[in-house]
Amino acid sequence: MRLLHTSDWHLGRTLHREDLLPAQRAFLDHLVATVRAEAVDAVLVAGDVYDRAIPGLGAVDLFDRVLRELAGLGVPVVLIAGNHDSARRLGVAARLIERAGVHLRTDPERCGEPVLLADEHGPVAVYGLPYLEPALVGAGLGAEKVSHAAVLAAAMARVRADLADRPERTRSVVLAHAFVVGGEVSDSERDIAVGGVPSVPASVFDGVDYAALGHLHGCQTISARVRYSGSPLAYSFSEAAQRKSMWLVDLGPGGEVAARRIDCPVPRALACLRGRLDELLEDPELARHEDSWVQAVLTDPGRPDRAMERLRARFPHALQLAFEPEGELGDGLPSYAARTRGRSDTEIALGFVRHVRGSGPGPEEELLLREATEAAGAAALAEGGGR
């Protein structure tokens, strides 16, 4: 059986205010063309279909369009909710549209309920595990504790229990949206640390033939049977060097896995430039980046006048400008995302107060900040929009 594994479309996302809907439309056209050209039997979408819980109309139109085209080809689609999606909204009418071959798995209670596909070698059970927020779904899944590893293990226990009752030659595929140990992160992935340590061991997927993962934006192989497809487009300059692709997976009659990468179209290259402004404007070696989306870090001792305006005279698609004067010691971290990665909302808020005032908040202020951030986090989780 031939499967096309993709994830992290983030429909509606921008790149430093640059509209990416045309590029996302081109990717989805490419996906449909690949399904035709490669005789794909099923499409797997491992979460983060949208970039936010309440997507814009343009993003919704793209999603509707690609589902109609795939349904028109008679190719089943199995799709899960990611931490950017609102599982409730994405899953509306899920059981109804299954009749068209579009299988939305957004309800944790359906973890052990597979989509059953078949080829000449027999059945393939495809299980969809949406993003599982420990605080919200741990008790319902019977997890031993409130952690990412525990809830995913509980969901996989349901998968194995269902698989054990199926015919002996049934092959198995799992879609999951999680941070698996060994994966490499980018700046553009939203932290999922709420609910304890966010990473889970790859061994949680032992016993299934293929695990199609989403969440990390770089295409990567954790093991021969556990892979991330990555996002189809670069959503931050930390992804400038990544080769964007999908996995074309052939699942053999005995569960053997053979996978190859299908490159995604590149709307415009990304370039990260560093140096004094005059150097960037005059260096002939940089001519190849004149049509790229550019992030520039200026190292001039003083801030040059009209820096972005002058930069865009040569690099009209420059999107981001930062200043790191020569001789000044920074904190060694490349971005705000890197400085805040792994920190709770409360820690970020307390750090902001210290940065602005030069001293930390007092005991009463700290208590108020903790209460406010915890209440905001609880409200977001209750809304069902994920993290």
CATH number at residue 141: 3.60.21.10
Do 291 and 378 lie in one domain? The reply is no
Give yes or no for a contact between 65 and 59, defined as CB atoms under 8 angstroms apart. no
pLDDT tens, residue by residue, 311-352: 999 999 999 999 999 875 444 445 556 667 667 888 888 888
pLDDT confidence of residue 255: 96
Tell which wins on pLDDT, 340 or 299. Answer: 299
pLDDT confidence of residue 375: 79
Structural domain count of the chain: 3
Do 232 and 363 lie in one domain? The reply is no
Final residue before a domain boundary, out of 233, 263, 293: 263
Average pLDDT over residues 174-193: 81
Residue for token pair 């140096």: 275
pLDDT confidence of residue 331: 46
Do 285 and 242 lie in one domain? The reply is no
Final residue before a domain boundary, out of 278, 294, 323: 323
* 379 has a pLDDT exceeding 60: yes
pLDDT confidence of residue 47: 96
Alpha carbons 155 and 130: distance in angstroms, whole number: 10
pLDDT confidence of residue 278: 97
Do 196 and 318 lie in one domain? The reply is no
Chain centroid to CA 84: how far? 8
Do 26 and 171 lie in one domain? The reply is yes
pLDDT confidence of residue 357: 63
pLDDT tens, residue by residue, 50-91: 999 999 999 999 999 999 999 999 999 999 999 999 999 999
Residue for token pair 């068209």: 100
pLDDT confidence of residue 354: 76
Do 36 and 171 lie in one domain? The reply is yes
Enclosing domain of residue 63? 2-263
* 170 has a pLDDT exceeding 50: yes
What length does the chain have? 387
Final residue before a domain boundary, out of 212, 232, 263: 263
Instruction: Give the pair of three-digit tokens for residue 145.
Output: 């504790």
User: Given pLDDT bands bounded at 50, 70 and 90, which one contains residue 184?
Assistant: confident
The whole-chain average pLDDT of the chain stands at 91
Instruction: Give the pair of three-digit tokens for residue 126.
Output: 């495809």
Do 275 and 238 lie in one domain? The reply is no
Do 278 and 247 lie in one domain? The reply is no
Do 167 and 203 lie in one domain? The reply is yes
pLDDT confidence of residue 195: 43
Do 42 and 125 lie in one domain? The reply is yes
User: pTM, whole model, 2 decimals?
Assistant: 0.83
pLDDT tens, residue by residue, 234-281: 999 999 999 999 999 999 999 999 999 999 999 999 999 999 999 999
Do 312 and 166 lie in one domain? The reply is no
